[in-house]
Amino acid sequence: MSERVQISLLSIFVMLQVFVVVWQLKPCLKPLRISDITSSLRFSFPEIQLRRPAGKLTRHSIGGYEAVLQQVEKQQAKMVSRYRHSWKERERQRLVKEAREFLLETISRQIFPAWYGTAWAFSGQTDRPGQGAIACGIFVATVLNHAGFALDRVRLGIQPSRYIITNLTGQENLWRLSGRSLKQIQREITRRGRNLYIVGLDKHTGFIFYDGRHQPVFIHASGQKGLRQVVAEELTVSETLRRSRYFILGQMLTEKMMEDWLTRRFIPISSDYYCQARALSRERAWRTGRRHG
C-alpha cells in the first residue's frame, strides 16, 4: 500500500473518531447563541451615558451621593496639601494636570449620573439629586460646588450664563458661536479637546462634556416640554441647542479655576448682573429726574 493511500486512510479514521466523540457529547452541549458571545465581551462605553426622558432613570441614593462628595473632599484635601508644599513650578503644573483629570473623571462618571432625572423648576434650588427641583443655572453652579469649588452656588447660579462664565474663568475664555450650525460647534469643541464647557443659550445654560473619544454630550436641567428634568443628550440632536439663536461657550477647569480649587480660594461674584442692573436703573431714574425736575 502506497504512502499516500495510508495517509488518506489515517485522515478518514481521525475524522470518524472526532465525529463519534462530538455525537456522544451533543446532549451535554448548549447551542451557541449570538447573545452568549456578545454578553461575554466587554465594550468601551462613553463616560457619560445618555439619559432619555422616556426611559426609567436610575439615580444614586442620597447616601451614595454623600459618599461621592466625601471622597471628593478627601482627595481634594490631599492635593491641596501637596500643592501647598510644592515649591517647584514644574511640580505644581503636574499637580494641576492631575487635579484636572480627577475632576473630569469625577464629574462625568459620578456627579452627573447622580443628577439624571432630577426635576427641573424655574426657581429650583435643591442641592441633592432626586429631591426637590433645580433650575438650569443652579444646576451648573451646584455641580461645580460639589466638585470642590468654593462659591455661592445660588448667587452664581441665578446669573446669566455669560456672567457665570466670566466669574469662573474670565472674559478671555468665553467664545461667541452664534449663527453656527451644531455640526460646526461640535467640530469647534472637538478641536479644542477633552474638557468640560459651559454653554449659554437664549434663556438657558448647561454643560457640554467632551471626553476626547466620543461625541460631545449636553448635560443640563431642561425646562423643555416633555423633559423638565436633568438629562444628557447628544449635542447634534438636542432640540434645546438647535432652537437657540444665542450661543456662547466657556471653557472650564482653566489654570485660574484649578488654582482656585487647589488653594480652596473662594470664587467671588465680581461681575454681578443684578447689581449692575440696579445701578443702571438708579442712574436712569436720576437722569430722568434731572430732565423733568
Tell me, yes or no, whether 284 lies in a domain.
Answer: no
- Is 169 within the bounds of a domain? yes
Grid cell 488653594 is found at 263
- 12 belongs to a structural domain: no
Instruction: Please give the grid coordinates belonging to residue 270.
Output: 465680581
Instruction: Tell me if 79 is assigned to some domain.
Output: yes
Residue at 46 is within a domain: no
Q: Quote the mean pLDDT of the chain.
A: 83
Query: What was the pLDDT predicted at 134?
Result: 98
Cβ–Cβ under 8 Å, residues 261 and 76: yes
> Residue 225's pLDDT band (boundaries 50, 70, 90)?
confident
Spatial distance between the Cα atoms of 175 and 3, rounded to a whole number of angstroms: 81
Mean per-residue pLDDT for 160-188? 92
Question: Which tens digits make up the pLDDT trace of 208-219?
Answer: 999 998 999 999
Strands (E), the chain: 119-120, 133-134, 174-176, 195-200, 205-210, 217-222, 229-234, 248-251
Q: Do β-strands 133-134 and 229-234 pair in parallel, antiparallel, or remain unpaired? A: unpaired
- Which helix (H) or strand (E) covers residue 117, if one does? none
Instruction: Tell me, yes or no, whether 233 lies in a domain.
Output: yes
pLDDT per residue as tens digits for the range 42-97: 333 344 555 544 333 344 567 899 999 999 999 999 999 999 999 899 999 999 99
- Examine residue 288 and state whether it is found in any structural domain, yes or no: no
* pLDDT of 161: 92
pLDDT computed for residue 10 by the predictor = 64
Confidence at residue 279, expressed as pLDDT on a 0 to 100 scale: 56
Give residue 130's domain range. Answer: 62-268
In a domain, 154, yes or no: yes
3-state secondary structure of 214: coil
Q: Cell numbers for 224, please give them.
A: 423643555
* Number of domains composing the chain: 1
Q: Which three cell numbers stand for residue 12?
A: 478518514
SS3 249: strand
pLDDT band at 33 (very low <50, low <70, confident <90, very high): very low
Q: Cell numbers 466620543 correspond to what residue?
A: 214
Give pLDDT, residue 113: 96
Among the listed ranges 5-9, 26-30, 132-136, 189-193, which one has the minimum average pLDDT value? 26-30
